[in-house]
């Protein structure tokens, strides 16, 4: 049996890596208006990167989709549809080297995960522990790095996840007014 991994100081390690990434990102693009700072993770949390969502990046991608791909949707509709697409921002996965040692630690937990059956309670406990670590790390990151009125929304995204799963992270990482603004910004369901 593979021993259970240690989660000791993992919250601090994640928050510190996010802080280093954020400072570097802001240093290179101080004029961009960030509306969301997203931990973009692989399932089952074996690696992390960041996807930074900005108004400028959103406009650039929507315009590119309109011209290069010939999308017939009006530009405003494309922007609304792409607003929360973490993989479509031009700032997805930048400065990945910031997470190298953290990702090595997360990857080292893979042997433990693979030793478990999906219906094993230890599997659920491991995943839930990592999810809570990410939430607490984002809250710590908010307290230490994001001061002032214009703070971006924070959450964790796994790419292929349900809206309910995404909302679970959004609700735990942000104030109620930010959650409500997010919900209001979603395109209407067809």
Name the more confident of 151 and 49.
49
For residue 160, pLDDT beyond 90: no
Q: pLDDT value at position 148?
A: 66
Over residues 101-111, the mean pLDDT reads 97
**For 40, phi and psi rounded to 5 degrees?**
-100, 110
> Taking the model in full, what pTM does it have?
0.92
Question: What is the band of 106 on the pLDDT scale with cuts at 50, 70, 90?
Answer: very high
Q: State how far Cα 95 lies from the chain centre.
A: 14
Q: Are 83 and 65 in contact (CB under 8 A)?
A: no
Q: What does the CA dihedral 39, 146, 31, 54 come to, rounded to 10 degrees? A: 30
For residue 166, pLDDT beyond 80: yes
Report d(CA 139, CA 154) in Å as an integer.
8
Q: What is the pLDDT of the chain when averaged over all its residues?
A: 93
């Amino acid at each position: 049996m593979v021993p259970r991994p240690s989660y000791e100081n993992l919250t601090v390690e994640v928050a510190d890596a996010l802080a280093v990434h954020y400072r570097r990102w802001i240093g290179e693009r101080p004029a961009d208006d960030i509306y969301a700072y997203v931990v973009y993770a692989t399932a089952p949390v074996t690696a992390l990167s960041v996807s930074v969502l900005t108004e400028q990046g959103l406009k650039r991608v929507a315009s590119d989709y309109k011209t290069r791909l010939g999308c017939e949707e009006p530009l405003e509709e494309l922007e609304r549809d792409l607003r929360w697409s973490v993989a479509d921002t031009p700032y997805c996965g930048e400065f990945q080297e910031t997470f190298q040692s953290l990702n090595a630690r997360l990857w080292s937990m893979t042997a433990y995960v693979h030793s478990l059956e999906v219906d094993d309670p230890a599997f659920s406990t491991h995943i839930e522990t990592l999810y809570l670590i990410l939430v607490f790390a984002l809250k710590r990151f908010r307290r230490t790095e994001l001061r002032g009125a214009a703070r971006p929304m924070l959450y964790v995204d796994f790419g292929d996840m349900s809206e309910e799963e995404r909302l679970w992270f959004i609700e735990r990482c942000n104030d109620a007014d930010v959650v409500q603004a997010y919900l209001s910004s979603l395109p209407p369901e067809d």
